[in-house]
Amino acid sequence: MSPAAFLPVDDQLEILERGAVDLVEESSLREKLSRSAKAGRPLTVKAGFDPSAPDLHLGHSVLLEKMRQFQQLGHRVVFLIGDFTGMIGDPTGKKATRPQLSREEIETNQKTYERQVFKILDREKTVIDYNSRWLDKLGSAGMVKLAGRYTLARMMEREDFRTRFRDGQTISIHELLYPLVQGYDSIALEADVELGGTDQLFNLLVGRDLMKEVGLEPQVILTVPLLVGLDGVDKMSKSLGNAIGLEEPPQEIFGKTMSIPDTLMWEWMLLLTDTSTEEIERKRIRVEEGTLHPKAVKQELAAALTARYWDEPAAAAARAEFETVFAKGGLPDEIPEVTVDGARVLVKLLAELDLIKSNKESQRLIGQGAVSVDGTKATDPFLELSPRDEPFLIKIGKRQFVRVRVRA
């Protein structure tokens, strides 16, 4: 076990409770940690990730950071890929039935998860497992038996199910199975602790109930907040366009972090970095007093995150480029270049090159003054870019640059 595992239990709890929301139950976790230290047996700590999207983002990393803390304390961390549960679709927080993914989609997504998780977790100390390993074998008889361990009344205690039922929204039978098979994961792994987002609390509690039913010591539950995205409003999500992917280039991680509202940087610092709570509070007070500029704090946060997911040299280079491009009005060192044949209308060109999602979105951004051509804000969405020897320099928003060479 790691030397950190010999920290006094109170010190371990202080580390593990940092940024946590729910802990069910602290007394049980204290007892498990004490037994672990005495017996020299690490706790089994699981967290499940359904590969429902192509890659991981900073929202996922809140949970991964908590896993890393357990790992540093010497415990056995299981990164559980829900290749079976992903085909059901987690109904948590959904107002309608979630689309079910195919096995092929799951397999494609899980390959990126298997790679990206090591941006945070220790490759040598991480167990990657797949819940199809036991759920495929459960079979129809086993599934019926599992369903018999829980009542519909208890399942309808879930707020989202209750709300959808009240509003006449569809609830498919397979959705009711999701918390049960997630709970079965805890039985299969004999988990001591299960981690999840606050929206997962009901599912995690089902796991505790099922473990009691089969005579296992129930797992401790520890939940973490849902990270607010770049817009400062909604939960971070790729579909909402307010996320930072773990494998995005260093310049993107740094620049996007610098774009978040000042009020959000304290939560990000608490959940995504190792900065002590005392140091975070000192910085917050200094910002409120006017003796520390919030931009300096945000630059420190952006550099820390870039270094975490890449390395220190990459963070330093990203910071230098940010200063050059945004503070001094320069250009990034590397700007992608594309070539098109024949004159193009600006609004259609942006969508054609996938620089902006649609013609409508292009027109909106141009109307807001967010697009410039050769250093001049574009005011006419139907501006024609005619063939010429030199490429056009197009800037979209604050960070996106592209050179477009128009050939005759």
* pLDDT tier, 22 (very low <50, low <70, confident <90, very high otherwise): very high
Instruction: For residues 59-88, give the mean pLDDT.
Output: 94
Closest CA to 66 of 57, 77, 50: 77
Is there a single domain that holds both residue 132 and residue 279? no
State residue 395's pLDDT score.
Answer: 87
Do 299 and 258 touch, CB atoms closer than 8 A?
yes
Asked if residue 95 and residue 217 are part of one domain, the reply reads yes
Domain count, the chain: 3
Taking the CB of residue 230, how many other CB atoms lie within 10 A of it? 19
- How many Å from the N-terminal Cα to the C-terminal Cα in the chain? 67
The CATH number of the domain holding residue 164 is 3.40.50.620
Of the listed ranges 11-25, 27-41, 254-268, 355-369, the least confidently predicted one is 355-369
pTM: 0.80
Predicted confidence (pLDDT) at residue 128 exceeds the cutoff of 90: yes
- Quick check: 97 pLDDT over 70? no
Do the domain assignments include residue 156? Answer: yes
Q: Are residues 365 and 391 in the same domain?
A: yes
Q: Which carries the bigger pLDDT value, residue 97 or residue 9? A: 9
Q: How far is CA 84 from the centre of its chain?
A: 20
Taking 70 as the threshold, does the pLDDT of residue 110 lie above it? yes
CA distance 177 to 181: 6
Task: Round the average pLDDT of the chain to a whole number and report it.
Answer: 90
* Percent composition of the chain: helix, strand, coil (DSSP 3-state, to 5): 50, 15, 35
Q: What is the pLDDT of residues 240-271, one digit of tens each?
A: 889 999 999 999 999 999 999 999 999 999 99
CB 235 within 8 A of CB 229: yes
Distances (CA, A) of 124 to 71, 72, 77, 120: 11, 12, 11, 12
Region for residue 189 given its phi and psi (left: phi exceeds 0; alpha: psi -120 to 50; beta: otherwise): alpha
Those residues whose C-beta lies under 8 Å from the C-beta of residue 251, and which sit 6 or more positions away, are 318, 321, 322, 332, 399
Q: Is residue 240 part of a domain?
A: no
Who's near 375: CB < 8 A, 6+ residues apart?
393, 395
Predicted confidence (pLDDT) at residue 134 exceeds the cutoff of 80: yes
Q: Is the predicted pLDDT of residue 94 greater than 90, yes or no?
A: no
Last residue of a domain, one of 327, 350, 376: 327
* Segment 336-342 mean pLDDT: 90
Same domain, 189 and 56: yes
Bigger pLDDT: 395 vs 301: 301
CA distance 5 to 15: 12
Q: What is the mean pLDDT of residues 126-144?
A: 94
Q: Report the C-alpha dihedral over residues 15, 21, 25, 26, rounded to 10 degrees.
A: 30
- pLDDT band of residue 101 (cuts 50, 70, 90) is confident
- Chosen domain end from 327, 362, 383: 327
The pLDDT value recorded for residue 389 is 85
On whether the CB atoms of residues 309 and 60 are closer than 8 A, the answer is no
Residues of the chain above pLDDT 70, percent: 96
Same domain, 201 and 58: yes
Is residue 270 exposed (0-12), middle (13-18) or buried (19+ Cβ within 10 Å)? middle
Q: What is the pLDDT of residues 42-60, one digit of tens each?
A: 999 999 999 888 889 999 9
Whether 395 and 283 map to the same domain: the answer is: no
1 has pLDDT over 60 = no
Q: 362 or 129: which carries more pLDDT confidence? A: 129
Residue 90 makes CB contacts below 8 A (sequence gap 6+) with 50, 52, 98, 178, 203
Cα separation, 10 vs 33, whole angstroms: 10
Residues 363, 307 within the same domain: no
Question: Does residue 238 fall inside a structural domain?
Answer: no
| One-letter amino acid for residue 105 of the chain | E
What is the arithmetic mean of pLDDT over 13-42?
A: 95
Q: pLDDT, tens digit, for every residue of 343-392? A: 999 988 988 888 887 888 888 888 888 888 887 888 888 999 999 888 89
pLDDT at 372: 85
Question: Do 193 and 141 lie in a common domain?
Answer: yes
- Given a contact cutoff of 8 angstroms between Cβ atoms, the answer to whether 264 and 233 are in contact is no
193 and 103 together in one domain: yes
Q: Which amino acid is at 256?
A: K
pLDDT, tens only, 365-374 = 888 888 888 8
Domain boundary among 300, 327, 354: 327
Is residue 299 assigned to a domain? Answer: yes
Residue 95 in this model has a pLDDT that exceeds 60: no
Q: Span 163-183, mean pLDDT? A: 89
Comparing 395 with 287, the larger pLDDT belongs to 287
Same domain, 35 and 159: yes
pLDDT at 3 over 60: no
Q: Does residue 211 sit within a domain? A: yes
Q: Is the pLDDT of residue 306 over 90?
A: yes
DSSP state of 200: G
Residue 333 has pLDDT above 80, yes or no: no
Tell whether 175 and 29 lie within a shared domain.
yes
Three-state secondary structure string covering 329-395 = CCCCCCCCEEEEECCEEHHHHHHHCCCCCCHHHHHHHHHCCCEEECCEECCCCCCEECCCCCCEEEE
State the pLDDT at residue 255. Answer: 92
* 239 domain residue, yes or no: no
In a domain, 126, yes or no: yes
Q: 42 and 139 share a domain?
A: yes
Taking residues 190-214, what's their average pLDDT? 95
Q: Give the domain extent around 397.
A: 337-407
Which one has a higher pLDDT value, 403 or 398? Answer: 403
Is residue 245 assigned to a domain?
Answer: no
